[in-house]
Amino acid sequence: MTVKDRIKEYCKEQKTTVSAFEESIGVSNGYVNSISKSIGIDKISTIIEKYSNINIEWLLTGKGNMLKSKDTVEAVSSIVSYDPKVGQPYYDVDFLGGFSEVYNSQVSLPDRNIIVPGFDRANLWCNVTGHSMEPQISHGDIIALRPCTINDIQYGEMYAVVLDTIRTIKILRRGSSPKHLRYVPINPNFDEQEFEVKRIISIFEVVGSISKFF
């Protein structure tokens, strides 16, 4: 049974039509029949929002029950996907460790994909180590990243930055000159630092973080 078949089965269970389902999630008539194997993360998020009783793992994989049990926590559960077309890639590396070697490699493959509703803007996920951004980001969390450029920097926001000798996650602020940036931690037990802009190799917007669930 495919995702398309499971959507039709769900609609039958809910005593609604496929066309009404399509309209409710903002897609054109015939969208469900056009689904081949997978469904986009944006559509998944909308389905979760509109139909809170559907078991998203069942919808995507066929595993488990169609509907969430009554004792299921109402919060939407994040799940693992082994379909490369569903979700965002998760690299099982620490950003402060070997992240750049993996991210810059053309042969490196993500460990798996994960689906986390509300993080549609993320391009990838990886681990984080260290305590400098606690309590907002804790040691052992996974972080959602989106590649950007130096020109995209919004001062006062959090970024993951690969410099020529280190990798760090900090709030970025203007430095002592236009050629420098200040890297500001959240944890008061850590000091802020300042580095030259020219030392930046890659920069990523930190879309958010969650506790590792797999």
pLDDT of residue 2: 84
**Enclosing domain of residue 98:** 88-210
Where do the H-state alpha helices sit in the chain?
3-13, 18-24, 31-34, 41-50, 56-61, 99-103
pLDDT of residue 41: 65
* Domain CATH number, residue 36: 1.10.260
> Which whole-number Å values give the CA distances from 141 to 17, 114, 180, 208, in the listed order?
41, 14, 29, 10
pLDDT of residue 17: 95
Residue 106 near residue 77 (C-beta atoms within 8 A): no
Can you tell me the distance from the alpha carbon of 182 to that of 95, in angstroms, rounded to the nearest whole number? 19
pLDDT of residue 74: 41
The tens place of each residue's pLDDT in the chain, 214 residues long, gives 788 899 999 999 999 999 999 999 998 999 999 887 667 766 777 887 788 788 877 887 777 889 876 544 444 456 787 777 778 899 988 998 666 666 666 557 788 888 887 787 899 999 999 999 998 899 999 999 999 999 999 999 999 999 988 899 999 999 999 999 999 999 999 999 999 999 999 999 999 888 887 7
Can you tell me the distance from the alpha carbon of 150 to that of 160, in angstroms, rounded to the nearest whole number? 12
For 133-144, b where at least 16 C-beta lie within 10 A, e where not — what string? beeebeeebbbb
| Domain end point (choices 54, 77, 100) | 77
Indicate whether 97 and 202 sit together in one domain: yes
Indicate whether 114 and 171 sit together in one domain: yes
pLDDT of residue 47: 86
Residue 122 near residue 144 (C-beta atoms within 8 A): yes
Q: In terms of DSSP bridges, do strands 167-174 and 124-127 run parallel, antiparallel, or are they unpaired?
A: unpaired
Count structural domains, the chain: 2
pLDDT of residue 70: 52
Indicate whether 104 and 146 sit together in one domain: yes
Do the domain assignments include residue 83? no
pLDDT of residue 98: 66
